[in-house]
């Protein structure tokens, strides 16, 4: 047998060292965050054999087609490590976003999950209220002062636990009425707030301040308790945040109406929603559009306030419709289901 040359030994050792280093690099977490298309879920479908949206207290109707909520998956966040092979895969994908993590965030995975779950529960409640209101139901609401902002006109006038009954002599049966009155009020005006405090009904003067989008503020945060005429249960786990609200609301509407709004189409979308039916902006819309198209959606409902992130990033074959309100989103679904989607507003017109 020929003797092994020093060069062969050196080459073999170098290859072994390189392989070991490569193995270590592939299993050590990388200081990068990766955002990518997450799973999509049909809100008209089932989860583990149970309807994702269950309604009691009102008749429901079968639905065809799909209304898919969309999500973003993330690696390199607290509790979810990103590895070099995943970073390389992210760099090679046009629908993933890779960014270097400069500092470790101070929040934990548990704190993030808890915050996302709170937002999800809130979005489900507000989606239910918005959907039922869109369908013409009256939703009795109790407005209770949660806290008073320091330095506001309400400080030392209103108290946590006060139940707001009216403003300037007009009853406020829900948050929408209160908001409408305040939006029409000149900031700095003194208004009379009717409240129930314990067993007493009080009429208290509050100097308003200015809100960013126009109108006046009382300087309080309000807890809202809804007396829902229809019970809606949304069965979904492992998805957090507020961005599924619009699709939840559309699913509730579809189930409670005899018309087949979706008409067999595959429609995805996103958007936070409040109880007044306003569709708000969300994060990660480019990843959500990619996930929607990957899972077979032909149409995508996007908050108009996200349009600057939509233009130039729409996957081939996906038609994006821009909406500001739940009513507009509902009309868009009806138009798509009836074959008239081409006339709907987009982010470029």
DSSP code, position 80: B
pLDDT of residue 89: 73
Indicate whether 36 pLDDT > 50: yes
* Residue 161: other Cβ atoms inside 10 A: 13
Per-residue pLDDT, averaged over 41-60, amounts to 93
Q: In the prediction, which pLDDT does 21 show?
A: 45
Q: Which of 235, 329, 255 shows the shortest CA–CA distance to 64?
A: 255
- Helix (H) or strand (E) holding 223, with range, is strand 220-226
Between 278 and 10, where is the model more confident?
278
The pTM of the whole model exceeds 0.85: no
User: What is the 3 state secondary structure string of 230-295?
Assistant: CEEEECCCCCCCCCCHHHHHHHHHHHHCCCCCCCCCEEEECCEECCCCEEECCCCHHHHHHHHHHC
**How large is the average pLDDT for residues 316-321?**
97
Structure confidence by residue, pLDDT tens digits, 274-317: 988 999 999 999 999 999 999 999 999 999 999 999 999 999 99
The segment with the largest mean pLDDT, out of 95-109, 184-198, 210-224, is 184-198
Can you give the pLDDT at residue 294? 96
Q: Which of 263, 273, 274, 248 is nearest to 299 (CA)?
A: 263
Question: Tens digits of per-residue pLDDT, 54-102?
Answer: 999 999 999 889 999 999 987 766 666 766 766 667 677 788 777 777 5
pLDDT in tens, 139-157: 989 999 999 999 999 999 9
Can you tell me the distance from the alpha carbon of 64 to that of 184, in angstroms, rounded to the nearest whole number? 42
């Amino acid at each position: 047998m020929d003797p092994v040359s020093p060069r062969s030994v050196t080459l073999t050792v170098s290859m072994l060292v390189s392989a070991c280093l490569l193995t270590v690099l592939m299993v050590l977490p990388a200081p990068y965050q990766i955002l990518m298309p997450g799973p999509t879920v049909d809100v008209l479908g089932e989860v583990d054999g149970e309807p994702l949206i269950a309604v009691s207290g009102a008749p429901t109707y079968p639905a065809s087609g799909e209304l898919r909520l969309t999500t973003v998956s993330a690696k390199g966040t607290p509790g979810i490590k990103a590895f070099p092979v995943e970073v390389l895969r992210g760099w090679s994908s046009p629908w993933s976003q890779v960014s270097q993590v400069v500092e470790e965030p101070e929040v934990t995975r548990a704190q993030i999950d808890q915050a996302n779950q709170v937002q999800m529960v809130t979005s489900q409640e507000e989606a239910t209220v918005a959907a039922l209101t869109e369908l013409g139901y009256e939703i009795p609401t109790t407005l209770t002062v949660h806290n008073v902002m320091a330095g506001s006109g309400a400080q030392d006038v209103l108290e946590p636990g006060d139940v707001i009954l009216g403003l300037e002599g007009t009853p406020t049966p829900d948050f929408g009425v209160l908001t409408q009155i305040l939006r029409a009020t000149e900031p700095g005006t003194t208004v009379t707030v009717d409240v129930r405090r314990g067993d007493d009904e009080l009429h208290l003067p509050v100097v308003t301040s200015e809100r960013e989008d126009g109108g006046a503020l009382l300087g309080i945060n309000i807890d809202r308790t809804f007396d829902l005429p229809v019970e809606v249960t949304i069965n979904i786990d492992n998805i957090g945040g507020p961005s599924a609200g619009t699709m939840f609301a559309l699913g509730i509407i579809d189930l409670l109406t005899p018309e087949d709004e979706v008409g067999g189409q595959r429609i995805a979308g996103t958007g936070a929603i409040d109880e007044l039916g306003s569709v708000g902006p969300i994060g990660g819309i480019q990843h959500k559009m990619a996930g929607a198209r990957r899972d077979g959606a032909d149409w995508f409902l996007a908050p108009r306030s996200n349009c600057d992130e939509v233009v130039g990033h729409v996957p081939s074959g996906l038609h994006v419709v821009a909406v500001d309100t739940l009513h507009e989103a509902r009309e868009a679904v009806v138009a798509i289901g009836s074959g008239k989607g081409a006339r709907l507003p987009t982010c470029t017109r």
